[in-house]
Amino acid sequence: MRLFGTDEDLKQVLDHLPAGVVAHAPDTSIRVCNQRACDILGLTMDEIIGVRAPDPRWCFLRPDGTPMPVDEFPVNLVLRTRQPVTDLVVGSRRPATDDITWALCTGYPVVDDRDELQLVIITFIDITAQRRAEAERARLEARLRHSTKMEAIGRLAGGIAHDFNNLLTGIMGYAELIEASLDPDHRARPWATEILDSSRRAADLVGQLLAFASQRIVEPQVIQPNRVLARCENILGRLLGEDIELVVRPAADLWNVRVDPSQIDQVLVNLAVNARDAMPAGGHLSIETANATLHDASHPMIDGPINGNFVVISVSDDGQGMDAQTRKRIFEPFFSTKGPGEGTGLGLSTVYGIVAQAGGFITVHSAPGHGTTFKLYLPATDQEVDEPRPAQAPVVEGGEATILLVEDDDTVRSLARDLLSDHGYAVIEAADPAEAERLASRFPGRIDLLLTDVVMPGTNGRQLHERLARQRSGLRVLYMSGYTHDIIAHHGVLHAGTDFLPKPFTSQQLLHRVGQVLGRP
C-alpha cells in the first residue's frame, strides 16, 4: 500500500510541517525544499532549489554572531562525517529584510543499499523569539549585576568617607591651630603647613568618593549648559596645553538643565584631563552640546524605560581609545590604567556619580586606536535660568551668642568647642542627643544656635532640632556631617533653607558658617 498517492501529496505534507526541510544532493545542491524553509530563510522556492553550499547570497552565523565557516555548515558536517548532527544553532541573514533569523538545525544522511550517500536531509525550526528572549534576559541580568556592584561600591565609599571626614576634620583643625600659634620663622611651621596641605588633598579624594556615591551635598540650579561651557573654555584650553586643539560646538536653542553648576565644571575638567592623558603626542578634543528626545530607551544607570527630553554633552578625543574590558571598569573607584602615582582612579567615578545624582546617564564609545567619546545625558527642564542669588547674610564674628554643640565624635567635638570658645562664644557641649536635651532643659539662659551632627545614635540631628525648637522658639540650627543622609537631603540634594557644614571643615569655615547663620534675621 502506498502511503502517498502522488508527489503532490508528499509536497502537501512537507509544506504543512512546522519545521523547515531541505534535501541536499551529494554535491550540496538543494533538490527538495518545503514552504516553511522558505519562510524561515526569507527566500523564494526558486531562490533555494538548485543552490549549492555555499552560495554568496547566504550568510550563516555561529551562535556568538560571528560568520560561520563553510565547513561548519550543517550539510557539510553531515557530508564529511556521514553521521547525523543535532541541535546546531545557526543564524541566517535574510536578504529581503536584512535581519537575522535563528534556527535549531538537525541533519541526517540518506544512504542506499550499497551504503552510498544519496541525500542529506536538513530540518530546522525557528528559534528567533527564544534567542531574543534569552538576549533580553542576559541584558537585564547584566544590568542588575552592574547596578548591584555600583550600589555596593557606593555604600562602601559613603561609609569610608564618613569616618575619614571625621578624622580629617580633627587633623585639619588642629593643624591650623598649630600653624597659627607658631611664629612665621619657627622651624615647625612648614611641617604644620604640610600637614594641612596633605589633609586638604585627602579631603578632595573623599569628596570625589562622595560624588561617586551620590552622597555629596549639591545645590542644583536651573542653568544653560552652553553658558557653563563658554565659561570653562579658557580653563580647559590651558589645562590641555598647546599640542591639543580644543573645539567647542554649542547647539543653538539648547534646553536648560537643573544641576549644580560647579559639578558641571568638575565633570568637564575630569573628562578633559582623561582625554589629555590619552593623547600624549597631542590631538583634538571636541565638546558638543545637543538636544535629544528619547522614547523607551534603556541604560544600566536608569531603572525602567527612559523617556523625555535630555541635553547631551559629548566629549570626544582622538586618543589611544579603550578595549572592551577597560570600558567595563572605567567608572569603578580607584580603577586606573595609569602608572603608580599618576592618578587616583577617581576622575571618571566622580563623573559617574555627578551625572547619576542629576538623574542622567552616560554612554561611552571607544576602541583601541580610535579615540573615545563620552555622552552625558542630563534631564532637560522648561524652567527659566535661575537669577543670581541675593547677597549672603552678614557674618557675626564671635560675641555673646550661646551655642549648643552636639557631636558624637570626641575629636571633632573638642575641636569645635575650642575654636568657638576662643572666639568668644559660650559653648554647651553634648556627646549625644539625649545629653543635649538634658543640658538644654537645665540651661536657664537663651540658646542662640544648635550646632549638631546629623547621624548619631538614638536621635538624628533634625529630630533633635525639632524637639528643642518646641521649647525654644527661634532656635537656629547648623547641621554638620561627614556624608549626606536622607534626614537632611534626598540623594545628596539639600532641602531649601537648610544650613549645612560638610566635614571636613577648616576652622575658618566653621567660624564663618556659624557667624553667617547667627547673622541671618
CA-CA distance, 520 to 513, in Å (whole number)?
Answer: 11
pLDDT at 1 exceeding the cut of 50: no
Least confident of 80-94, 141-155, 178-192, 500-514: 141-155
Q: Which residue ranges make up each domain of the chain?
A: 7-126, 136-212, 221-381, 402-519
> Would you put residue 210 in left (φ > 0), alpha (ψ -120 to 50) or beta?
alpha
CA-CA distance, 212 to 357, in Å (whole number)?
Answer: 9
Q: Return the amino acid letter for 206.
A: V
pLDDT value for 420: 93
Q: 7-126 in CATH: which number?
A: 3.30.450.20
Task: Tell me the per-residue pLDDT of 50-74, one tens digit each, with 9 for 90 and over.
Answer: 888 777 666 788 888 888 888 889 9
Mean pLDDT in residue range 359-372 = 91
With bands split at pLDDT 50, 70 and 90, how would you rate the model's confidence at 211?
low
Nearest to 477 by CA among 456, 463, 493: 463
- Which CATH architecture does the domain made up of 402-519 adopt? 3-Layer(aba) Sandwich (3.40)
pLDDT value for 407: 92
408-421 core/surface letters (b: 16 or more CB in 10 A; e: else): bbeebbbbbbebbe
Q: 136-212 in CATH: which number?
A: 1.10.287.130
C-alpha grid cell, residue 335: 580603577
C-alpha grid cell, residue 270: 575630569
Q: Centre a 10 Å sphere on the Cβ of residue 202 and count the other Cβ atoms it contains.
A: 17
Nearest to 210 by CA among 148, 142, 153, 161: 161
Q: 266 or 121, which is more confident? A: 121
With both helix axes pointing from N to C terminus, report the angle between 347-357 and 189-212 in degrees, rounded to the nearest 10: 50
Q: Give percent above pLDDT 90 in the chain.
A: 28
Least confident of 195-209, 263-277, 290-304, 410-424: 195-209
pLDDT value for 95: 72
The residues with which 292 forms a beta bridge, in sequence order, are: 310
Task: Tell me the per-residue pLDDT of 473-512, one tens digit each, with 9 for 90 and over.
Answer: 889 999 988 765 555 665 555 666 688 888 888 888 899 9
Q: How far is CA 342 from CA 246, 265, 346, 511, in A?
A: 23, 22, 12, 36
3-state secondary structure of 379: strand
pTM above 0.85, yes or no: no
Q: What are phi and psi of 250, to 5 degrees?
A: -75, 140
Cell 508527489 maps to which residue?
7
Which residues, 6 or more positions from 185, have their beta carbon under 8 angstroms from its beta carbon? Answer: none
Q: 221-381 in CATH: which number?
A: 3.30.565.10
CA-CA distance, 498 to 478, in Å (whole number)?
Answer: 8
With bands split at pLDDT 50, 70 and 90, how would you rate the model's confidence at 4?
very low
CA-CA distance, 488 to 510, in Å (whole number)?
Answer: 19
CA-CA distance, 516 to 499, in Å (whole number)?
Answer: 10
CA-CA distance, 189 to 186, in Å (whole number)?
Answer: 5
pLDDT value for 339: 59
Least confident of 29-33, 443-447, 473-477, 496-500: 496-500
Q: Centre a 10 Å sphere on the Cβ of residue 255 and count the other Cβ atoms it contains.
A: 20
pLDDT value for 120: 92
Angle (CA) 298 301 305, round 5°: 30
Mean pLDDT in residue range 160-165 = 77
CA-CA distance, 300 to 209, in Å (whole number)?
Answer: 20
